[in-house]
Amino acid sequence: MTFTRRALVISTGLAAASVAGLPVSAFAQKKLVLGFAQVGAESEWRTANTESIKSSAKEAGIELKFSDAQQKQENQIKAIRSYIAQKVDVIAFSPVVETGWDTVLREAKAAKIPVVLTDRSVNSKDDSLYVTFMGSDFVEEGRKAGRWLVEKMKDQKGEVNIVELQGTVGSAPAIDRKKGFEEIIKADPKFKIIRSQTGDFTRAKGKEVMEAFLKADGKKINVLYAHNDDMAIGAIQAIEEAGMKPAKDITIISIDAVKGAFEAMIAGKLNVSIECSPLLGPQLMSAVKDIAAGKPLPKRIVTEETIFPMEVAAKEFPKRKY
Ligand code: GZL
């Protein structure tokens, strides 16, 4: 039964119930059920994203089935299959990597269960496999990081040696944040990415990889570009343990603008954080209700975001919601 037909059946049921004198509430209480397959709990951003989804589902009166895949694609696929078996009304997930989803998404389509992509997208030729993708423009986030650096270094005559902490290999944010950043800095040959490696979006790995970068190139490093705040915060510890001053000896740019980033900027240890909002819960719940009501949705819903240099961190911090 298609989703629209299911909505029609519910509304017809309500009409029939009221004519037959049955308590309409018997039909009206059919709660929508959303199955959400989360990436994991790898970062402050992800924790805030999970909180937004859980609190918004509660507020919207939507029954939420939630799973944490510990950043493993096979776990997300297992969770999606279990939601199909449970015949949930809508499935939503944030794909840990861009590829390898077509088979399970075709299973959801065959089961007539609509799918919503949140936060990260999939690299599929068949965009009929999902209703909409809501989340940030990661390429633009990378461009914002590049533009901030070009402006900061505009009077710098010599080479600007950059080390890069990439996000999870194969993930949309890692691929696109790299792409946007390189698109901007390639205009000036003084900018050179001398080392680039994944820190898997975690503090621990960010620290470990930065230790290796410092061991290899220490004093040569002018800039760290981290694809998220957690890796930048881990790297800040490594920089300090190496006897250098973060945000002074090494300019640090990161993305997300989570609480930890504001604390680091206020402490003078991080130069700038590009906002990437995890607060997708309300948008997701409204999309679930629209799908249930048979309303069409745009294929792409982009989250509007800004940039926070350390100079504004203290003023902005009290207003932050994540
Ligand atoms: C971005 C999100 C990324 C964050 C990281 O939308 O997918 O994953 O930037 C998180 O902090 O781990």
Cβ distance 235 to 205 under 8 Å?
Answer: no
- Gap from CA of 293 to ligand 1 centroid (Å): 31
| pLDDT reported for residue 12 | 46
Which ligand 1 atom sits nearest the alpha carbon of residue 135?
6
Instruction: Tell me the average pLDDT of the chain.
Output: 93
The residue to mutate among 134, 178, 201, 277, having the most atoms of ligand 1 within 8 angstroms of its beta carbon, is 201
Pick the residue whose CA is nearest to atom 6 on ligand 1. Answer: 119
Q: Which residues line ligand 1 (CB under 6 A)?
A: 42-43, 45-46, 119-120, 135-136, 173, 201, 228, 230, 255-256, 276
- Gap from CA of 228 to ligand 1 centroid (Å): 7
pLDDT tens sequence across 64-78: 999 999 999 999 999
| Helix, strand, or coil (residue 196) | strand
| pLDDT reported for residue 7 | 46
Which ligand 1 atom sits nearest the alpha carbon of residue 227?
9
Task: Give the strand pairing for 115-118 and 90-93.
Answer: parallel
Cβ distance 159 to 188 under 8 Å?
Answer: no
pLDDT tens sequence across 105-163: 999 999 999 999 999 999 999 999 999 999 999 999 999 999 999 999 999 999 999 99
| pLDDT reported for residue 260 | 98
The residue to mutate among 39, 44, 45, having the most atoms of ligand 1 within 8 angstroms of its beta carbon, is 45
* List of residues 6+ apart from 76 with CB closer than 8 A: 37, 39, 67, 69, 93, 95, 96
Strands annotated E in 5-106: 33-38, 63-68, 90-93
Which ligand 1 atom sits nearest the alpha carbon of residue 202?
12
Question: Radius of gyration of the chain from Cα atoms?
Answer: 22
Tokens 């090494």 correspond to 250
Task: Give the strand pairing for 272-275 and 307-309.
Answer: antiparallel
| pLDDT reported for residue 30 | 82
For the cut 60, the answer to whether the pLDDT of residue 2 exceeds it is no
Cβ distance 275 to 310 under 8 Å?
Answer: no
For the cut 70, the answer to whether the pLDDT of residue 23 exceeds it is no
* List of residues 6+ apart from 272 with CB closer than 8 A: 145, 148, 252, 253, 254, 265, 307, 308, 309, 310
Tokens 């205009």 correspond to 187
For the cut 60, the answer to whether the pLDDT of residue 312 exceeds it is yes
Pick the residue whose CA is nearest to atom 11 on ligand 1. Answer: 45
Query: How many whole angstroms separate alpha carbon 39 and alpha carbon 96?
Result: 6
DSSP-assigned letters across all residues of 94-121:
--SSSSS-HHHHHHHHHTT--EEEESS-
Which ligand 1 atom sits nearest the alpha carbon of residue 258?
11
Query: How many whole angstroms separate alpha carbon 119 and alpha carbon 249?
Result: 34
- Gap from CA of 167 to ligand 1 centroid (Å): 8
Burial 133-172 (b: 16+ CB within 10 A, else e): bbbbbbbebbbbbbbbbbebbeeeeeebbbbbbbbbebbb
Percent of the chain with pLDDT over 90: 89
- Gap from CA of 168 to ligand 1 centroid (Å): 9
Query: How many whole angstroms separate alpha carbon 175 and alpha carbon 170?
Result: 7
> What number is the average pLDDT over the span 79-89?
98
| pLDDT reported for residue 29 | 64
pLDDT tens sequence across 24-41: 444 456 899 999 999 999
Which ligand 1 atom sits nearest the alpha carbon of residue 40?
12
> What number is the average pLDDT over the span 186-210?
98
Whole-structure pTM value: 0.90
Query: How many whole angstroms separate alpha carbon 93 and alpha carbon 75?
Result: 12
Confidence of residue 21 (pLDDT cuts 50, 70, 90): low
pLDDT tens sequence across 249-290: 999 999 999 999 999 999 999 999 999 999 999 999 999 999
